C-alpha cells in the first residue's frame, strides 16, 4: 500500500471512529437525560459533555484497534527463511 493511501485510510478511520463514538456518547447522554446544549454549565450538562468526549475517545481507540488488526496489504512475497546450518 502506498504511503498516501495508508495515511488516507488512517485519517478516515480515525475520523469515522471519533465522530461515531461521539455521536454514540451524545445518544447515551440524551437517553440518560443529560442535555449538553442546556444554557449554563450545570452538572447534567457537564456530564453529557463528558460522555460525548468519552465516546469520541473510545471510538478513536476502537478505530485504531480495528486498523491494527487488519492484515498488511503488501502484495510482495515474504523473504525466504534463512538456513540455520
| CB proximity list for 6: less than 8 A, separation 6 or greater | none
Name the pTM for this structure.
0.77
> Cell numbers 437517553 label which residue?
31
Q: Are 56 and 25 in contact (CB under 8 A)?
A: yes
Res 24: pLDDT? 97
pLDDT band at 43 (very low <50, low <70, confident <90, very high): very high
Using one digit for the tens of pLDDT, what is the confidence trace for 45-81?
A: 999 999 999 999 999 999 999 999 988 776 555 666 7
**End-to-end distance of the chain based on CA atoms, in angstroms?**
35
Task: Please give the mean pLDDT across all residues of the chain.
Answer: 89
* 40 compared with 74, residue with greater pLDDT: 40
Amino acid at each position: 500500500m502506498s504511503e498516501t493511501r495508508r495515511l488516507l485510510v488512517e485519517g478516515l478511520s480515525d475520523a469515522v471512529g471519533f465522530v461515531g463514538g461521539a455521536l454514540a456518547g451524545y445518544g447515551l447522554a440524551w437517553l440518560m437525560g443529560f442535555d449538553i446544549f442546556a444554557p449554563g454549565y450545570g452538572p447534567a450538562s457537564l456530564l453529557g459533555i463528558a460522555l460525548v468526549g468519552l465516546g469520541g475517545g473510545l471510538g478513536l481507540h476502537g478505530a485504531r484497534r480495528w486498523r491494527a488488526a487488519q492484515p498488511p496489504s503488501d502484495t510482495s512475497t515474504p523473504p525466504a527463511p534463512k538456513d540455520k546450518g
